[in-house]
Amino acid sequence: MEGVLVTGTASAVLDGECARCLEPISEQSEVTFQELFVYGDQDYSSDEDNGVSTLEGDLLDLEPLLRDAVVLALPFRPLCMDDCPGLCVECGARLADDPDHAHDDPIDPRWAGLTALQQEPDEQDQTQQDQ
């Protein structure tokens, strides 16, 4: 196969957010790539969907190659740190900012009324029987 073998390294800045706590993340990523670009005058250059990269005259288009290399290097679940504790399930606070974060009263005030009913089940039954 006649062509040009391209080998390279590219660095890119990745911007995203932590999959657990949504903290913005920006990190440097370096990817390597290698691809054979065949001369455009050969038969298979006519079909652009065959996965073969071709030279366009004396030029070669690195963009698809670079994009694929960077996408493959992206982390599946980016994290701000390896052991990110995520967010508080009750109030949404970022636990990494406040490791001692805790709630004194684990009962949501909206359900406080139900707790009172739960403590007096007999009385509740009695009321229903009287009706």
Least distance (Å) between residue 102 CB and Zn ion: 8
Q: Exposed, middle or buried: residue 54 (CB in 10 Å: 0-12, 13-18, 19+)?
A: buried
Instruction: Scan for tokens 């960077």, then name that residue.
Output: 70
**Strands 24-38 vs 53-54: parallel, antiparallel or unpaired:** parallel
Q: Which is nearer to Zn ion, 77 or 113 (CB)?
A: 77
Question: With respect to Zn ion, which residue has the nearer C-beta, 98 or 125?
Answer: 98
> Which of 69, 80 has the CB closer to Zn ion?
80
Q: Which residues bind Zn ion (CB under 5 A)?
A: 18, 20-21, 23, 80, 84, 88, 90-91, 93
Report, in angstroms and rounded to the nearest whole number, the Rg of the chain calculated over CA atoms: 30
Q: State the minimum distance, in angstroms, from the CB of residue 27 to Zn ion.
A: 13
Work out how close the CB of 113 gets to Zn ion at its nearest, in angstroms, rounded to a whole number: 22
Query: Three-state DSSP class for 67?
Result: helix
